A = this chain, B = another copy of it.
Amino acid sequence: MGVSLYNAVFIDILIGMAQIGKNSVGIVKTQTIRVVDKEVPLKLDCGKRLALVDVAYETYGSLNEAGDNAVLICHALSGGAHVAGYNSESDSKPGWWDEQIGPGKHIDTNKYFVICSNFLGSCYGTTGPCSINPETGKPYGLDFPIITIADMVRVQKLFLDKIGIKQLLAVIGGSMGGMQVLQWAIEYPDFVKAALPIATTSHLGAQSIAFDAVGRNAITADPNFAEGQYTGDNGPDRGLSIARMIGHITYLSEQGMREKFGRELRNANDYSYDFDSEFSVETYLDHQGQSFVERFDANSYLYITKAMDYFDLSKNYGSTKQALADVKSRFLVLSFASDWLFTPAEAEEIVDALIANKKDVSYCNVASPYGHDAFLLEPEIVGTLISGFLEATHRPAANKGAKAASKKWNHIEQGRRSRVDYELIESLVEPDSRVLDVGCGDGELLAALTEGKNIKGEGIEFDQELIIASVKRGLPIIQRDIERGLSNYADKSFDTVILSQTLQTLKNPKKVFQEMLRVGRKVVVSFPNFANWRCRSQLFFAGKAPVTRGLPFTWHNSPNIHFLSLKDFDEFCEKIGVRIEKKIALHRNRPSPIKFAPNLFAEQVIYVTSKE
């Protein structure tokens, strides 16, 4: 395969080196390779050209025979190619995402060939503003051309071509790395099987541009900046440090900072009544600023933040939807609930554009207090989602049976699991059709329909653990509160939309039902029958709110907030002009339909409805 040539040097773990765990990739060396030279200079988005481009990179694991197990990691603003393992025996810290990458880890180097390259414009080995300008023999400084995320990805593609990679199983990246992931899927649709943009956006909003601009202002205001021609030992350190401090505030959340620092004072119990840094959060920022100055280049900071500011799929492709119209990858989009730099709403915009294009997309908004940094600080949930998604993409057949094993099922879900309507609903779905399961749980029904009827299924669910299970099964599943509606789905995008035992728990059942009728040709809906003879008798004779085996909750703890009978639903459908194609009245545990007096004897009911 020739790949071993480019493989990172892997040295067996030495006895006694305690910091290198047994599932570490061990000691790796960053390699450098020239991907652009004078014969074919690189044309950039700004119109200028770069005559020489070198790329620094690391790899872990091996490319398999089929060449279908390569995973590219895209790093964020201040990262580099060193994503896992140690660069030397004396290294005190491993690569920046070592928690995820290694033998047996979530991104398993026993299975996958993992590659990370430093992006264009950075200061960690790939050509950037501190590289030597071949025309002058001196560092570029501000003579380096303005670059874009697309330019960075162009260089990554040249690099992968050079090391003989023919396709990527997945591209994964958080923050600015996520922008590269999007760009990859858009520009090289046939090359990328799965795209995992995490904590990212399709475009920088005004607030993020503002923070970037203030950071650049701080750097260029530093007299040591010297128009970018500073020397190594006399750079714009204070300016760069301030820029980094601003950045760090945006990476955390208000809640996270409150928990981590509060109003704690560094040394004393009382205020010092001077302008020294005295709150812990101040000394933390001082430290972050100072350590950044020691490891990063101010010009690179300018170029990279500018590349981020310029990132805007709408501007480059007409709209986010148009940008993603021709992607062929499966997508797993992740955001974090407390991330206010690249918000969940921005992630949902990407998800909605993919849905509008009928792409295979899963989405989870991970509950975390850690803000933007949750991408690195929630390794377990992020890793579990990534590994499930990678597995399902790489070996789809083996992963269909995944269940939410550890899940404590709540009332509603318990009701659903024991319900008999599953197999009946299955019988109502056409083979080879498109199906949306609203409130799909761990994807059991969708998986069965995929298996038995070869449908193309999608799910909507709110519970994080159930989403993980569906992702593992390889099902496209979107985390969403269905009360918000289905506006991101186009009219009649599905042959069948399913809402099983959930209608009566919705705040606004009419709105949700009408939305389902809009997006599906057929809507299958099941619910408990409130006019079952047991309910009638209890209210009539006992004068109490019914508690039956079909409606097993007392008045005050019921998840059911609307009560309806077959007759109510019949009248409702007539009133809003909905055609009832089929109505199956059922006992609780018997699959044989009730023919006689269904509104009196049915405990539950399944309707097949449609609207033109």
A146 close to B (CB within 8 Å): yes
Contact partners of A166 in chain B: CB under 8 A: none
Name the contact of A564 in the complex, choosing from B214, B535, B556 (C-beta under 8 A): B556
Most B-side CB within 10 Å, residue of A47, A221, A340, A343: A221
Kindly provide the distance from the CB of A259 to the nearest chain B CB, expressed in whole angstroms: 9
A509 close to B (CB within 8 Å): yes
Are the C-beta atoms of B213 and A281 separated by less than 8 Å?
yes
Are the C-beta atoms of A510 and B557 separated by less than 8 Å?
yes
Given contacts A238-B221, A530-B539, contact A555 B564 (CB under 8 A): yes
Stretch of A185-193, A305-313, A435-443, A588-596 on the interface side:
A305-313
Kindly provide the distance from the CB of A291 to the nearest chain B CB, expressed in whole angstroms: 15
Residue on B nearest A542 in the bound complex, by CB: B567
Are the C-beta atoms of A205 and B542 separated by less than 8 Å?
no
Kindly provide the distance from the CB of A202 to the nearest chain B CB, expressed in whole angstroms: 11
Q: Report how far A315 CA is from B561 CA in the complex, Å.
A: 46
A469 close to B (CB within 8 Å): no
Given contacts A206-B281, A310-B271, A312-B263, contact A540 B545 (CB under 8 A): no
Stretch of A119-127, A241-249, A359-367, A490-498 on the interface side:
A241-249
Contact partners of A105 in chain B: CB under 8 A: none
Are the C-beta atoms of B279 and A213 separated by less than 8 Å?
yes
Are the C-beta atoms of A249 and B210 separated by less than 8 Å?
yes
Are the C-beta atoms of A568 and B555 separated by less than 8 Å?
yes
Residue on B nearest A220 in the bound complex, by CB: B275
Are the C-beta atoms of A545 and B530 separated by less than 8 Å?
yes
Count of chain A residues with a beta carbon within 8 Å of a chain B beta carbon: 88
* Binary CB contact string for chain A from 127 to 139 against chain B (1 if under 8 A, 0 otherwise): 0000000000000
A565 close to B (CB within 8 Å): yes
Contact partners of A209 in chain B: CB under 8 A: 263, 279, 281-282
Are the C-beta atoms of A279 and B206 separated by less than 8 Å?
yes
Name the contact of A210 in the complex, choosing from B142, B213, B285 (C-beta under 8 A): B285
A233 close to B (CB within 8 Å): no
Q: Report how far A527 CA is from B465 CA in the complex, Å.
A: 38
Are the C-beta atoms of A203 and B263 separated by less than 8 Å?
yes
Chain A 196-214 interface residues, beta-carbon cutoff 8 Å to B: 203-207, 209-211, 213-214
Most B-side CB within 10 Å, residue of A277, A309, A542, A544: A544
A452 close to B (CB within 8 Å): no
Residue on B nearest A564 in the bound complex, by CB: B555
Residue on B nearest A504 in the bound complex, by CB: B555
Given contacts A210-B249, A242-B242, contact A556 B572 (CB under 8 A): yes
Contact partners of A556 in chain B: CB under 8 A: 508-510, 562, 564, 572
Given contacts A206-B261, A210-B249, A509-B556, contact A544 B565 (CB under 8 A): yes
- Nearest 5 pairs of A and B residues by beta carbon: A561-B561, A531-B543, A206-B257, A46-B273, A221-B238
Q: List 27 A-B contacts (CB under 8 A).
A: A142-B275, A204-B263, A205-B257, A205-B262, A206-B257, A207-B249, A209-B279, A209-B281, A210-B257, A210-B282, A210-B285, A211-B249, A213-B245, A213-B277, A213-B285, A214-B246, A254-B343, A263-B315, A340-B340, A530-B545, A531-B539, A535-B539, A536-B540, A543-B599, A544-B571, A545-B563, A555-B562
